Structure 1
Amino acid sequence: GNRAEAEDALQEVFTRVWLRANRYEADKGRGMTWLIALARNHAIDRLRSRRETQSGDEDAMNAVIDTTPRAETRLIAVGEAKRINQCFETLEADKAAALRGAYLTGTSYIDLAAHFNVPLNTMRTWLRRSLLKLKECMEQ
């Protein structure tokens, strides 16, 4: 996927062929097979060494990068959370509870329908309409 790296690998293969030319057996018809095996093995070695280097680099970068949110990001998140809670308060209590159950705690639609004693399709309608109301509220 990287032309410069492919050219470097090809150059190294040419050098290895030159240094190991005495192993070339033209009379046995294995010359092309030997060349292909040499190139393939070298490419695999480069990929393996690159993965090891990258994983080490990623570990080092992860140790250095500060992932804590900045103050501005935290303030925005707090404001959005307040807004979402206010929008949840505009919903009927049972529909808000069903919406929280489905999307915040991962309760299945079937379990929610059983809990609220409504048919499954009714629960789906509740959730869909409640999401639309939340969307409208958040856009205001």
Structure 2
Amino acid sequence: MPAPTATFDYDAALRACARGDQQALHGLYQQESRYLLGVALRIVRQRALAEDVLHDAFLSIWRRAGSFDATRGSGKGWIYVVVRHQALNVARARTREVGADEDTVEALLHERQAEGGDSSDAYALQADMGRLHDCLGHLDEAKRNCILYAYVDGCSHSEIAQRLSSPLGTIKAWVKRGLASLRQCLG
């Protein structure tokens, strides 16, 4: 009769990841990746997308392993939560996407002009977008990313905090200061 295999110690593996032990991350991946892929697949419903979710989640596990607290739950549960949140973020972002090819955009512009919008409106809009792009370029990367996540991707402050692995209060401050800088630049 074969000897029983030792149970995997998720908490110890996460502590080792926090210390920079790549083998510990590899062990977590070997132990759970097929199950975690199933979790991601149930949420995003596309294999390639689920694989991307799993990859990003393991990067997040690697970066955030030091924040794991065994007094708040099990290591195995923690990695499942990380994957689930990553998959939900991807699924939410996909519902916000609006695809349009060049023909559709061109048709909408012609429709707007036919409804009374003149070409000077389009020119003014283009000029304003150029100014906005320049002003965004003057912001530091953290503030710019916060504003883009909030206003382009439609993320909440807490979603941005999770994406950037930064405290919620810091994210709120960056958005507020970034918007103030944009107002001043565009003013």
Displacement of 1:116: 1.0
- The TM-score with structure 1 as length reference comes to 0.50
Match of 1:87 among 131, 135, 148: 135
Counterpart among 46, 59, 66 of residue 114 in structure 2: 66
Q: Please give the alpha-carbon distance, in whole angstroms, between the structure 2 residues aligned to 1:119 and 1:67.
A: 47
TM superposition outliers: structure 1 runs of 4+ over 4 Å: none
- 2:145 is aligned to 97
Q: Take 1:115 and 1:68, find their aligned partners in 2: how far apart are those partners?
A: 42
Q: Which runs of 5+ in 2 are unaligned?
A: 1-112
1:69 shift after superposition: 2.9
Partner of 1:113: 161
After TM superposition, give the deviation of residue 68 of structure 1 in Å: 6.1
Counterpart AA for 2:163: H
C-alpha contact 2:142 2:174 (8 A) present in aligned 1: no
Query: Partners of 2:137 and 2:119 in 1: how far apart?
Result: 27
Give the Cα separation in 2 of the matches to 1:124 and 1:113: 9
Amino acid at match of 1:86: D
| SS at 1:69 equivalent | coil
Counterpart in the other structure of 2:183: 135
Listed one character per residue, the Cα deviations across residues 71-105 of structure 1 (whole Å, up to 9, x for unaligned) are 11001000000000000000012220110110122
Question: Counterpart of 1:74 in 2: which secondary structure?
Answer: helix
Report deviation, 1:70: 1.1
Q: What root-mean-square deviation, in Å, do the aligned CA atoms of Structure 1 and Structure 2 show?
A: 1.6
Paired positions, count: 75
Residue 122 in 1 paired to residue 166 in 2?
Answer: no
CA distance in 1, matches of 2:183, 2:160: 21
The C-alpha deviation readout for 1:39-91, integer Å capped at 9, x for no partner, is xxxxxxxxxxxxxxxxxxxxxxxxxx932631110010000000000000000
TM-score, length of structure 2 as denominator length: 0.38
Aligned-pair identity in percent equals: 23
What corresponds to 2:108 in structure 1? Answer: none
Residue 110 of structure 1 aligns to which amino acid in structure 2?
Answer: S
